[in-house]
Amino acid sequence: MCSSVSLNQLRRAAEKRDPEQCQFLLKTLFMEMEFYLAVAVVVERAQAFLETFEHYYPNAGFARQILMQMVNTGSAPSRLPPQALRDFEYPGAANYMKALSDLAHALQPGPLPPRIGYLVSATVNAIMAELVEHYYGQHMEHWVLVREDPESAEAREIAYSFWTDEEIALLDTDHWLQVAESIEEHQRRQIRQD
């Protein structure tokens, strides 16, 4: 059972846009939850980007298949299919593949703390996929520059503009608040079932 204190702290960290604190608190909350309820929270975040991913990669049906396997069986392939390992150029797509890969790792047998770490990383990457696609999808010229030379001064300036963009800030906060809401909702359902 997750503490309401940790949930409220997560909401405050989301409002402040404190990514380190959000991740720390999410890990704390996931450690307090039943594992497959934590997985359900992450799968919801991953599903939120699925249609966008499929729009830009209509032949990448493996993403939906992997998510359906996770939902239906609580398992995942130990490795993503080879077509998932290519370079996905559209903004947010690489983050999304990282989220699916982390989810798959989390569902492999092993000690709980690293598996929870993968769930947190999957959540972060699923959120970033949405933010990156939203911003750079409207600024493709910036995306090209960032991808060509991510260490350049211009790329760093662009990345700063992305992160400080008012719309991105609101979306980032909103997505983290949705994660907190999802955790709370899964808790309520669990209590009703017990």
Q: 28-50: per-residue pLDDT in tens?
A: 999 999 999 999 999 999 999 99
CA distances from 185 to 2, 13, 33, 108, 165 (A): 11, 19, 12, 25, 30
**Domain residue spans of the chain:** 4-193
Task: Report the length, in residues, of the chain.
Answer: 194
On average, the pLDDT of the chain sits at 93
DSSP annotation of 84: G
For residue 23, give both structure tokens: 């991740």
pLDDT digit string (tens) for 127-178?
A: 999 999 999 999 999 999 999 999 999 999 999 999 999 999 999 999 999 9
